[in-house]
Structure 1
Amino acid sequence: MKSITYTSLAAFAVALAAAPAAAQEATPADAASSDMGDAIVVTAQKRAENIQDVPISIAAVSGETMESANILTVMDLGRVATNFQTVRSSNTGSTRIGIRGVGSLANTLIEPSVAVFVDGVYVPRSGSILGAFLDIDGVEVLRGPQGTLFGRNASVGALSIRSALPKDEFSGEVSAEAGSFDRYKLSGHVNIPLGQNVAARVAAMGQWYDGPWKNRYDGKTYGGSDDVAVRGTVKAEFGNLEWIVRGDYTRLDGDGVVNFDFDPASIAPARLAFLQAAFSGGPDINLNDRVMNQSVASGLLDKNWGVSSTASLEIGGGSTLRLVNSYRKWTNDQLDGDIIFLPVPLATRRSLFDSGSWNHELQFISPEREWLGGHFDMVAGVYYFQEKFALGEQLNMDSQFCNVLVPAGPGRAACAAYYASTGGVAATDQDVFQKVRSIAAYAQGNIYIGDALTLTLGGRWTNDRKRGSYSQISSPFTQTIRAPEVLDYPGLSESRFTYRISLNYKPTDDVMLFVNHSTGYKSGGYNSGGGVPALSTFDPQGNLISTRRVFNRETVKNYEFGAKSSWLDRALTANITFFRMDIAGFQDRAFDGVSFVVRNAGNLRQQGMELDLRLAPTNRFALSGSLAYLDSEFTDFANASGLPGIGGTQDLTGKPNSFSPAWSGNVAVDWNGDIGSSGLTWAANANVSFVSDQYVGTVNDANPQSIADGYALLGARLTLKGPDDRWSLAIFGSNLTNTHYRPLAVYQPLGAALGLNNGAFPGSTANRVLANEPRTYGVSATMRF
């Protein structure tokens, strides 16, 4: 915290002694306004640019578009950003963000494949951004490796979220919503001028939600949460210095429950009858309702806060020095269970996440196309990142654990005695800690060979250091679930150079052709999950003999060619990109029947096409659409996880990666008009998003039971606006056709121990299917001043 204050004050002091106040005003990388008219402005290259001039495949979504399409959280973003997927499991900390079919479930030490940035600050844990979008100006999804300007963990892409900046006027708005399943939301913001060239903006949100899931076991409703979020921003301009200071806080307080129904087609009828007879009628097997039937012990408290400072200093000649400093803290404490998902109290799990991260970045941004007679400009910088990350897991034995999961005899009696004396609390206790330090230096320059031809060269050198520890304690009756193990991870220190080469050609002002070659990587690390047997082997003296806990880095080579074009006096924009990503040392999560182990799986190829279209013949009507084709294939995966019930390994060379649908896309219509001469206006939006069949299992084992059928989701919003847009009333809905789909499939925990795996496919492995979000409606009212 002190370093943020000191470096920011230093920038302020330098500014006062630097160039005169009459110097040209710097344009911040997160600026929302520009002189580009109706063009979509993005900051993918650290400066504000027209999206049509950036040779990167980008899905840019404004705050207005997110509102009209009912995009409430990052979990909804895939409906408007093609080739972008999010999914969460029973634990909110395990949220997966993927681009072009590649991502990582986040409840391990494995680094994300998609780097997330909020106002230019890297957020290392994707599970920490599940709160509702608050006062967002825009979102950019950068497809493909961004390893030069954004860093090592943008190996397949980046997600950049930009909040709204203060305005030099007193204004604001207040909005109230009511929706399905007793969801109520109150939000708003206010702009406050604090003096000449100084303004503040405060935004806040409160949401109360009962949740959609009805539990037949106890008659209660689950999936709800009471959430609160607040952000304060101050923007000041002191001559040649622009200084933006932000602080934000989010709290999610609910049960954290999602509905995993049992797939009756995943086991033989006789085994289903056994399950129903042995476990109080068995789990809910209707995959198309909002009903669950299981013992539940739940609770979620998620806190996320941060402060940041962005100081942009004009240093003469149009160049800008920008200093970004931040600290972010995320804690997540969730009790989820019964983790066996049955209507008998067997076991619960308490998961703990604690991340504290520091970001410090000094950027140099030259004036655009002014150096060397207009033939060169550049962006360069140095970067420092540090995170201290702790994970904890406690498995608790419930009242029927001993009777069901321990064989009859002396062992069950001993288990019952143990439960009576301890209450079964913390029967296993896992504590994991990791400290990461990363430093980098980067530069990217544009060489303007001619008026129409530009060569871009960029490179980034990164050095990562990691160290940590692992401890797993287990009672005598839970060692078949979590084996005891204690290990100090001495750490790694590795350096990597990533680069980008791009050539773009503009035969006209409205057409740009480009080819890109870029690289990215994720550093290696060690497993944070428990293994049975233990992942490490020791001699009688306690010396480490071998370990499967360590995995190596993953590298990406990306090739693209595409076109960005505008037609019909820029009423039509059409952008297309063809890509191929070759991923070596793919960091895969293998399943050993009880727990997950991260390992380097071999090589993966993701290739395809992304097409983005928008037709806006008038300011009253716009039609937009996006289509992506993805061809996913492991080019070398000879040691993949075997199918449950069969075990061993299998060769998945030629098979696709999970969460890699061949087709995905969306279509949206926006239409607005006047209501006579009353000053009233109306606006209507209809949107459809779709994906084709895909594997949705959490394990790459090509199990045909984890193939989910394709689906399409329909949403709409109708808004009535008052004169001068001073007020508005809206009705909206999502998944209006109440489509049933499968976002995620997981294997029944302890399926083998319960006798549910028979080794004959298909129909042999007990599966749990994550229930989709049902049809929802809502109304909202907004006042502006």
Structure 2
Amino acid sequence: MNGRKLRQLSLGLTVFAMHGAGLAAPDQAGNAAQEQAAAPDWADGGDIVVTAQKRAENIQDVAISIAAFSGQGLADRNVTDVTGLAKLVPNFTVTRGPQLASARLNIRGIGASGNTAVEPSVATFLDGIYVARPGALFGSMLDVEGVEVLRGPQGTLFGRNASVGAVALRSIEPENDFSGELRAEIGTGARYRLDGFVNLPVNDTLAFRAAAIGEKFDGLWFSDQHDRRFGGADTIAGRLSMKATPGAVTWLVRADYSRLKGSGFPLVGFLSDSVTPAGLATFKARLGGVLPDLDPFDRRSNQYLDDFVDDRQWGISSDLSLDFGDGFTARMLNGYRDWESRQEDGDLLFVPIPILRRDGVYDSKSQSHELQIISPKGRLMGGRLDFVAGLYYFHERYKIVERFAFLPSFCPTIVGLLAPNLVNACLAGPSTGATDLRFGQSVDSYAAYGQATYAFTDTLDLTLGARWTRDDKTGSFVQTSPNPVGIVLRAPETANLAFSGDRLTWRAQVGWKPADGKMLFASYSTGYKSGGFNSGGGSTVLGARRVFQPEFVKNYEIGAKTRWLDGGLIFNATLFRMDIAGFQDRSFDGVSFVVSNAGGLRQQGAELNAILSPDRNFQVDWSLAYLDSKFLEFKGASGLPAFGGTQDLTGAPATFSPKYSGSFGATYKNEIGNTGMRFMARANISFVSDMNIGQVTDNNPQTIQDGYALIGARLTLYGRDDRWNISLFGDNLTDKGYCVQTYYQVLDNAFGVRNPATGGTAVRCQVAAPRTLGASLGVRF
């Protein structure tokens, strides 16, 4: 079925449903979720409801390795954006590069940078709608009801690019009671935030909800050279939702908008121990007698800044469900998202003198249409069979523009070192737009899927699912160099690109419940990540290497989900082995990145979590992950920077793959005498062992970040009937300095910092957030 016909079917179902009549239908992910979620005292206990299998289910009944949190649970843990999830979910990391668009989500050590045309390995969804570019997710954590992190391939129900997992956010639905909240917050870095919502019921079948955020944030870092803070941005965001339940129809419509504008550039420090004293002296001399700050963790920088970011997006979605009898539900999900991020990086070399600036534009316009048929639970074949089936269409037009601007020191410093005879030509050519890259691609993806569960007995069931996906891509790449010296950085190239492919992914799973509250399961699943195009410029012409092939995943899991002590203890465990073929790896030549299909990679280990609730006032939760990573074959890996060429990394681990990661938290809440007031206190610690956080897979010991632990806490006082609340909170309370990712010094060869003895070079550290403190005041009405 082509995209046009599927859109026609979508419109037809919408019109039919709006005029339909019949008995009231249960909301598959709404009323059922509310009934189950209302029972427990703890929002994030074992009774939390997830929609990982396209229907509302208790998390303990879903045979997938899931970490799920309610909106209130996230607030209690000081999580206000997607990056904060990493401190709660082992085997999950989120990093942002110097560009906001370069967001990278990793599950079980696997991910992809977002500021390229490479498809993500972790699929992201907002209210069931696929978010094509992870950079767009940073503006979406507004008025959230819950978040689910699904580890392992989700190719059957979530499709392509969920090859190692998925992240699903759900916003709060309009309710039939009038309510509202307004909250003001102040925090480290001159951060001021105001947010709130209002819920407006019109009648028993129609309600609206509006939520908004406004934040002013100067940043956590201070520039000595420019005498200002940097790294922050001002944000405005809003969402308007409508829920209508006329007869047998449930219709949710949501529209959202967000804009982030300001500095946005993080602190990228210099690791002085990555170069020899002689190399450091050469670096200083070639910078005209100055050096970058040698302490990356003092919150200060003498780096030249010419930075600016303007990131905006808007989207609209329709979630229409129709009960057409006997509990069967037809659901149509339609979504459109328009995201554009413009950023000026300054200086791209992270040095104290103005050398090179990158101006980037990332523009994604996507739409998706999904028709689902969901069977009732306990109605088919004597209550033994239920299923989900669907058709899916996705279209995206994605554009990338990159321009290098030669700042005043580029021609005399860089060109003067590499090619002195070209200095005059460099100075005579244009400085702004010295190089110009324009990349565009169009993607059409089609899928049909189904998954069914058959219960052989009351305690033993089998789940089988499959999904067929086809991707058609076309693209164009044009690189020019208006300044004649620009060819040193970006070789002129013009290419018309095409990729097509289809794949069948499937899942088989056996579940056994030997006793009440105990479930054991074993599963085999496959994942598929689409092939695509190298969208970045290079110092040499890539030619045929601009197209790379898909990535395929085979995943084996055995696990247990259990309750003990009358539900007071929940303990879950999953053992997994994930084999990746055609791993899409990035290499770096000192100027540009190139993606190619590497050899086989194996990620295997265990994920454990437990929740202990000895009484209604106290809860302890912990989670732990072990990850063993190694390439089964990788003979063409990037060589170390000073050696160049390739090397054999068979048996070596992948980047972003720590052996151990985990978190531990404790929450205590109680009433305050007979005042009608109460309080909540929470403390948590998250930890990660040593891991390589380099942007290139070359097994360089210079890019290994030592293990660290982070401590956070929150104390909240609630007024009578929770009409108001006051909170004090903090993160990274020990002010631990560490890197979230590392980069090789751009143009390191020109600066003379490569070490021919070890193969190493100067390394840059993107510094993580230091200790942050804050306070908030909220009022409900």
TM-score interval for Structure 1 and Structure 2 normalised by the shorter chain:
over 0.9
Alignment pair present for 1:760 and 2:769? no
Aligned to 1:329: 338
The answer to whether structure 1 residue 724 and structure 2 residue 721 are counterparts is yes
Residue 12 to residue 440, structure 1, CA distance change in 2 (3 Å): closer
- Letter aligned with residue 359 of structure 2: R
2:44 alignment partner in structure 1 = none
| Matched residue, 2:129 | 121
Whether the aligned pair in 2 keeps the contact of 1:28 and 1:312 (CA below 8 Å) is: no
Partner of 1:379: 388
Aligned-partner SS, 1:127: helix
Q: Which residue, 557, 561, 567 being the options, matches 1:570?
A: 567
Q: 1:414 aligns with which of 419, 425, 438?
A: 425
1:91 is aligned to 99
| CA distance in 1: counterparts of 2:609 and 2:27, whole angstroms | 31
Cα pair distance change 1:301/1:16, threshold 3 Å: closer
Q: Secondary structure at the match of 2:426?
A: helix
1:345 aligns with 2:365: no
Secondary structure at the counterpart of residue 295 of structure 1 = coil
Q: CA deviation at 1:212?
A: 1.2
1:708 to 699, 705, 720: 705
Other-structure match for 1:27:
28
Superposition pairs of residues 439-454 of structure 1, within 5 angstroms: 439-454=446-461
* Structure 2 partner of 1:607: 604
SS of residue matched to 2:367: strand
Q: Which residue of 1 aligns with 2:766?
A: 770
In the other structure, the counterpart of 1:677 is 674
* Partner residue, 1:10: 12
1:68 aligns with 2:76: yes
Find the partner of 1:494 among 501, 524, 544: 501
CA distance in 2, matches of 1:756, 1:227: 39
Instruction: Report the counterpart of residue 472 of structure 1 in structure 2.
Output: 479
Give, in angstroms, the shift of residue 292 of structure 1: 1.2
Cα deviation, residue 4, structure 1 = 11
Query: How far is the alpha carbon of 1:22 from its aligned partner?
Result: 2.4
For structure 1, the residue ranges without an aligned partner over 5 or more in a row are 537-546
Deviation of 1:130 after TM superposition, in Å, equals 1.6
Cα 1:193–1:3, aligned 2, differ >3 Å: closer, same or farther?
A: farther
Map of 1:585 onto structure 2: 582
Structure 1 residue 494: Cα displacement: 1.1
Q: Does the 8 A contact of 1:561 with 1:579 survive in 2?
A: yes
Q: Which residue is equivalent to 1:236?
A: 244
Tell me which residue corresponds to 1:544. none
Counterpart-to-counterpart distance in 1, 2:401 and 2:17:
45
Q: Is the 8 A contact 1:149 1:443 kept in 2?
A: yes
Following TM superposition, by how much is the alpha carbon of 1:7 offset from its aligned partner in structure 2, in angstroms? 6.1
Mapped to 1, the partners of 2:282 and 2:464 lie a distance apart of 64
Cα distance in 2 for residues equivalent to 1:550 and 1:54? 38
Letter in 2 for 1:689: S
Between the aligned partners of 1:734 and 1:25, the Cα distance in structure 2 is: 41
> How do residues 167-246 of structure 1 correspond to structure 2 at under 5 angstroms?
167-246=175-254
| CA distance, structure 2, for counterparts of residue 550 and residue 7 of structure 1 | 34
State the Cα distance separating 1:417 from its structure 2 match: 2.2
* Separation in structure 1 between the aligned mates of residue 370 and residue 633 of structure 2, nearest angstrom: 38
Change (3 A) 1:478 1:765: same
- Out of 671, 696, 699, which is 1:699 matched to? 696
Offset at residue 548 of structure 1 (A): 1.4
Give TM-score, length-normalised by structure 2: 0.96
1:639 is the counterpart of 2:636: yes
Would you say the 8 A contact 1:735–1:776 is kept in 2? yes
What's the CA shift string for 1:666-688, capped at 9, x where partnerless?
01111011111111111101011
TM-fit CA distance, 1:2: 11
Equivalent position SS for 2:486: coil
Task: Label 1:196 to 1:10 Cα distance change in 2 as closer, same or farther (>3 A).
Answer: farther
Of 535, 541, 556 in structure 1, the residue corresponding to residue 542 of structure 2 is 535
| Distance in 2, Cα, partners of 1:12 & 1:277 | 68
TM-score, length basis structure 1: 0.96
Matched to 1:14, the amino acid is F
Q: Report if aligned partners of 2:286, 2:751 keep a CA contact under 8 Å in 1.
A: no
> In structure 1, how many angstroms separate the alpha carbons of the residues matched to 2:11 and 2:449?
25
Please report how far the alpha carbon of residue 10 of structure 1 lies from its aligned counterpart in structure 2 after TM superposition.
3.4
Residue 196 of structure 1 deviates from its aligned partner by 2.6
Secondary structure of the 1:33 match is helix
- The Cα of 1:493 is off from its aligned counterpart by 1.9
**Deviation at residue 410 of structure 1 after TM alignment:** 3.8
Q: Deviations over 1:245-277 (max 9, x none)?
A: 000001000112111111111111012123234
| Identity in percent | 49
**Corresponding residue pairs, total:** 768
Do the aligned partners of 2:624 and 2:661 also contact (CA within 8 Å) in 1?
yes
Deviation at 1:94, TM superposition (A): 0.8
Where do residues 282-297 of structure 1 align in structure 2 (5 Å cutoff)? 282-297=291-306
> How far apart are 1:8 and its partner, in Å?
6.2
User: What residue is the counterpart of 2:401 in the other structure?
Assistant: 392
Of 410, 413, 433 in structure 2, the residue corresponding to residue 404 of structure 1 is 413
Alignment CA distance shift 1:756-1:31 (3 Å)? farther
In 2, distance between residues paired with 1:448 and 1:555? 30
Contact 2:71-2:146 within 8 A present in 1 as well = yes
Gaps in structure 2 of 5+ consecutive residues: 41-46
Moved more, 709-718 or 470-479: 470-479
Deviations 1:20-55 (A, max 9, x none): 532543423797413463211000000000000000
Instruction: Map Cα deviations across residues 682-712 of structure 1 (whole Å, 9 max, x no partner).
Output: 1101011110000000000000100100001
Q: Do the aligned residues in 1 keep the contact of 2:499 with 2:547 (CA within 8 Å)?
A: no
Contact persistence 1:145–1:520 (CA under 8 A): yes
Q: Deviations over 1:163-193 (max 9, x none)?
A: 0111101101000000111100000000001
Matching of residue 456 in structure 1 with residue 452 in structure 2: no
Alignment-mate amino acid for residue 165 of structure 2:
G
Letter in 1 for 2:184: A
Q: 1:59 to 1:409 in 2, by over 3 A?
A: closer
Q: For each residue in 1:492-512, what CA deviation from the matched residue of structure 2 results, as whole angstroms up to 9, or x when unmatched?
A: 221100000000000112000
What SS does structure 2 have at the residue aligned with 1:65?
helix
Residue 220 (structure 1) shift: 2.0
Q: How has the CA–CA distance of structure 1 residues 457 and 186 changed in structure 2, closer, same or farther, with 3 Å as cutoff?
A: same
CA distance in 2, matches of 1:93, 1:449: 48
Output the amino acid matched with 1:482. Answer: R
Q: How many Å separate the matches in 2 of 1:220 and 1:348?
A: 19
Q: Distance in 1 between matches of 2:32 and 2:278?
A: 63
Q: Is the 8 A contact 2:36 2:49 kept in 1?
A: no
Corresponding position of 1:308: 317
253-262 vs 274-283, greater mean Cα deviation? 274-283
Q: Structure 2 CA distance, aligned partners of 1:17 and 1:247?
A: 23
Report deviation, 1:477. 0.7
Report the secondary structure of 2:678's partner residue. Answer: strand
Deviations 1:729-765, CA, capped at 9 Å, x for gaps:
0100000010111211100000012211122227x31
CA distance in 2, matches of 1:30, 1:144: 28
> Following the alignment from structure 1 to structure 2, what is the Cα–Cα distance between the partners of residues 480 and 657?
31
Distance 1:255 1:589, change over 3 A: same
Counting only pairs closer than 5 Å after superposition, residues 24-173 of structure 1 correspond to structure 2 as 24-28=25-29, 32-35=33-36, 37-38=39-40, 39-131=47-139, 133-173=141-181
Distance 1:641 1:604 in 2: 15
* Aligned equivalent of 1:539: none
Change (3 A) 1:252 1:43: same
AA aligned to 1:22 is L
Q: 1:100 to 1:30 in 2, by over 3 A?
A: farther
